[in-house]
Amino acid sequence: MTIVSAFLVPGSPLPYLHSDNPPWSTIASGYRAAARALSASRPDTILLYSTQWLAVLDELWQVRPHLADVHVDENWYEFGDLPYDLNFDAELAEACVKGSKDIGISSKGINFEKFPVDTGTIVASGFLNPGGRIPLTVAANNLYHSFDDTLRLGEMAARKAESLNRRVAIVGVGGLSASLFRQEIDIRNDGIVTAEDDQANRRMLALLERGGGEELIEACGTFAKEAKADMGFKHFAWVFGGMGRRFSGARVHAYGATWGAGAAVIEFKL
């Protein structure tokens, strides 16, 4: 089996940098549970899509074998810096660049020393892959790609992993409802901005827990509109495509808020 585990995780740095804050500690704890599950699945590579790595002209893939530096988040810089030391499966990334043409999507590999790695990739790898022992294959979020485009990219990436005999954990990095508090808050009292957003998030989580197939695509579109979901919920499209558009259920390890936005750590049952 190529896909040996699958996860949706939040990309906010708040639980990572300040895990002692009660509303965020739940998310950090859920992340640690997901990390144990990922490790137990023994993947060769983590196939990761982050809503925070933004692309415009082409689909971008990280093909440099190693990147290390210190990142400062553009929104939450006051909470601390984000050092990273990441290894990449460049062979699989190059295969995905070539494979994108087969599904009508233009792709490019990115390979330069000081490339600015995004917060979501750093946070997800830091929680799920401490020490960077498992190489990553990372795909960007092209702002002009639809849910369906991203679903097909996930399918293609899984096929390419299979062709290289990789055992893969597939990870979508992004949030649920995307509305934030627009003022300073007491972080100890963080919560979802509105009851409507919270209800929409919980309905989607309940659907994922039940599992399903193609019928979920319409539900995701409804959710994206109701909750103004992070980047149209395309990070789920990535994972859903990688899983072959079907899964038997999901376990929600954590659900909570990051400055008002919805965040959940979800492990899918393959």
At residue 1 the predicted structure's pLDDT band, cuts being 50, 70 and 90, is confident
- pLDDT value of position 3: 98
At residue 223 the predicted structure's pLDDT band, cuts being 50, 70 and 90, is very high
Q: pLDDT tens digits, residue range 152-201?
A: 999 999 999 999 999 999 999 999 999 999 999 999 999 999 999 999 99
pLDDT, mean over the chain = 97
Q: Which CATH number fits domain 3-269: 3.40.830.10, 3.40.1280.10, 1.20.58.390, 3.40.605.10?
A: 3.40.830.10
Average pLDDT value for residue range 8-15: 98
Q: pLDDT tens digits, residue range 17-67?
A: 999 999 999 999 999 999 999 999 999 999 999 999 999 999 999 999 999
Q: Does this model's pTM top 0.95? A: yes
Task: Assess contact for 160 and 99: CB atoms under 8 A.
Answer: yes
Q: Hey, what are 253's tokens?
A: 């390890």
All structural domains of the chain with their residue ranges: 3-269
